[in-house]
Amino acid sequence: MGATIGHEVMHGFDNQGRSFDAFGNVVDWWDNATSAKFTDKANCYVDQYTAQGIDGMLTLGENIADNVGFKLTYGAYKRLLKRRGGSAEPALPTFEKYSPEQMFFIASSHEWCNNGLNEGDINDPHPPPDTRLRMIARNSKHFGKAFNCEKTSPMNPEKKCSIW
């Protein structure tokens, strides 16, 4: 649920939401330097998703919201663990071998368990669920660390996209 809330909040600061002020008026309220930096960072996502066969411009707002929402949720989870002295809930049977960080990623992936886009729905600004999950994990510096992925492996690329 935290990732969904973070995702929706981030739409207020994505490539479309950033054009509106607190009252819903279309206003360019970012200075030139902030806009330029945002565009540069947003282009990372456009290029990354386009390389996956996804229309990176069409899906940009969703891609930003997915990645930043997840990043915020992981940060909240780490703060919770710290408050608990580093311990998580007791592991479920057969899941004892996974660290709390690994379980966070495993549990978070449940959100993407669906059949995805309807055939021919090329105008949907949401990438297919498997792509969303894979790209969120690839852009997370914590995923590669949690699962001991080698640097430059497909799930731990050297270049990761991040807006904030």
- Across the chain, what does the average pLDDT equal? 89
| Active-site entry in 8, 21, 47, 121 | 8
Q: Residue 156: phi, psi to the nearest 5?
A: -145, 60
108-156 tens-digit pLDDT: 888 777 766 555 577 889 999 999 999 999 999 999 999 999 999 999 9
What's the rounded Cα separation, in Å, for the pair 35 and 40?
9
- Domain-by-domain residue ranges, the chain? 2-146
Please indicate whether residue 150 is annotated as part of the active site: no
| 22 confidence band (pLDDT: 50, 70, 90) | confident
Cβ atoms of 6 and 69 closer than 8 Å? yes
| Active-site entry in 14, 62, 66, 101 | 66
What's the rounded Cα separation, in Å, for the pair 44 and 56?
9
* Burial bucket for residue 139 (CB in 10 Å: 0-12, 13-18, 19+): buried
% of the chain beyond a pLDDT of 70: 96
44-61 tens-digit pLDDT: 999 999 999 999 999 999
Q: Which CATH architecture has domain 2-146?
A: 3-Layer(aba) Sandwich (3.40)
Please indicate whether residue 66 is annotated as part of the active site: yes
